[in-house]
Amino acid sequence: MMKSVADVTMAAHLKGMAQQKPAPVQQMGNKFGAILKTSIVAVNQAQVAADHAAEQIAAGETKNLHGAMIKMEEADISLRLMVQVRNKAVEAYQEIMRMQV
């Protein structure tokens, strides 16, 4: 007996997309805004956790230097990613503004 294999071709993907009803623009904007807000909150939490870990190391409350460094690097990487997302959004906005109608 032969097992059923999932069709992962581009044609199957496009066919599946064609069957979906597109969401109204307002709903897509709300989803993007919610995702952006969640991301900003996560970046802020990572920054706060890194600051707290650094304060604990400086005060001598903990000796876990590796954990503190990991938290600081995670916060740094997440902040850099958020800045790049912002830059891309600004570039896209500027490109749309330069379009001639």
pLDDT digits (tens, 9 = 90+) for 82-93: 999 999 999 999
Is the Cβ–Cβ distance between 46 and 74 less than 8 Å? yes
Query: What pTM, to 2 d.p., does this model score?
Result: 0.65
Query: Is 37 within a domain?
Result: no
Query: Is 75 within a domain?
Result: yes
Helix (H, G, I), strand (E, B) or coil at 61: coil
Query: Is 27 within a domain?
Result: no
Give the separation between CA 77 and CA 81, rounded to whole angstroms.
6
**Does residue 5 have a pLDDT over 60?**
no
The domain in which residue 100 lies consists of 44-101
Query: Is 39 within a domain?
Result: no
Query: Is 48 within a domain?
Result: yes
44-92: pLDDT as tens digits = 999 999 999 999 999 999 888 999 999 999 999 999 999 999 999 999 9
Residue 15 CB neighbours (<10 A):
11
Domain count, the chain: 1
Helix (H, G, I), strand (E, B) or coil at 11: helix
